[in-house]
Amino acid sequence: MHIPLSHPERSSLTLITVCRWFLSPMQCAHDVESPNNIPSPPQTQLEATHLRKEKEFDFYYEMVSNVPVLPNEEVFNTYGETLTNAQLLAQYGFVLDVNENDRLNWDLKEVYTHCTGLSGVCTWSLPELENIWLAILSRAAVCEALGSIAESNLVYLHTDTSGKTLCLDGDGKISHQLWTLLALPFCLQRIPGNVAEHLGEITNDLEALLEFQLALENSLEAGNDPGDSHRHKSSTKHAAMLAGLAHSLINLCVARKSQLGKKNPDCGDVNDILDVGICFYIAETSF
């Protein structure tokens, strides 16, 4: 209930009525409470209107912008640009039908352990492979060697700045960083001596492999014989590299699925769930 309270800046004879619970001079729900459970007198229409407005206050929020908003400019409210459906469900109780943040993420050590380190394809240590991988990505970005990735249905250009670059999205596409890392050991097999002296050669090899893959994707999409594509000449070397990349990706998905509790998953199970690597599989037998 509102009770008289002396205002500190006025005469002690000046009183302000405030709520003893909220210390608010505005009318609130406590004003309808009576001591000793004595029913309150009937409210006037004005009092009922003020009370209703107080109750409706929790149904809206005031938003404050930390940047200037120009006239007629749209302002969007978001729960978080990088939240996955699992995070949205846990924090806000809903999910999105299409959420670009839903991805499977791996770290460099996982990829190295399940794909390159155990396969025997790569004899480089993890730190050495990481340095080569970063150098190749940097060089490829400068010379736009992997610019045609936008044409692929299996790989996408990953530009997220969150730091999680080795991922597979909800459409079954892998990031260009993961694609490069999986393909890199097969390129390094053919490089003698100091790798730093052959970065250009490795980058060109990756570019040729991507062109080969795109030609294969286009041929399969059109229902043609992959070997008839005008975009490339049949290459046993690139077919073997693409098949090896596919198996590395399968191993990575199998390892992740085994961590979810199902024992002894096979490649078919992984495909049923993730729908990845269809064209990669065919690459092994098409050439």
Q: Identify which of 156, 157, 213 has the alpha carbon closest to the alpha carbon of residue 183.
A: 213
Residue ranges covered by each domain of the chain: 2-59, 104-286
Per-residue pLDDT of the chain (287 residues; tens, 9 = 90+): 444 444 444 333 344 555 655 555 566 665 555 555 444 545 566 666 666 666 665 566 677 788 888 888 888 777 777 788 888 888 888 888 888 888 888 999 999 888 765 455 667 888 888 999 999 999 888 778 788 888 998 999 988 766 789 998 888 889 999 999 999 988 888 777 778 788 888 999 999 999 999 988 888 777 765 555 544 455 788 888 888 898 888 888 888 888 776 554 444 444 444 444 544 544 444 54
Neighbours of 99 (CB within 10 A): 16
Cα–Cα distance for residue pair 17/5, rounded to 1 Å: 6
- With a CB cutoff of 8 Å and minimum separation 6, the contacts of 203 are 136, 139, 140, 143, 145
At 209 the pLDDT is: 92
Cα–Cα distance for residue pair 114/123, rounded to 1 Å: 14
> Torsion angle of alpha carbons 141, 171, 161, 251, nearest 10°?
-80
Amino acid sitting at position 30: H
Do the strands 166-169 and 103-106 form a parallel or antiparallel pair, or are they unpaired? antiparallel
Measured at the CA of 36, the angle between CA 33 and CA 39, to 5 degrees, comes to 50
97-113 pLDDT, tens digit per residue, is: 888 888 888 999 999 88
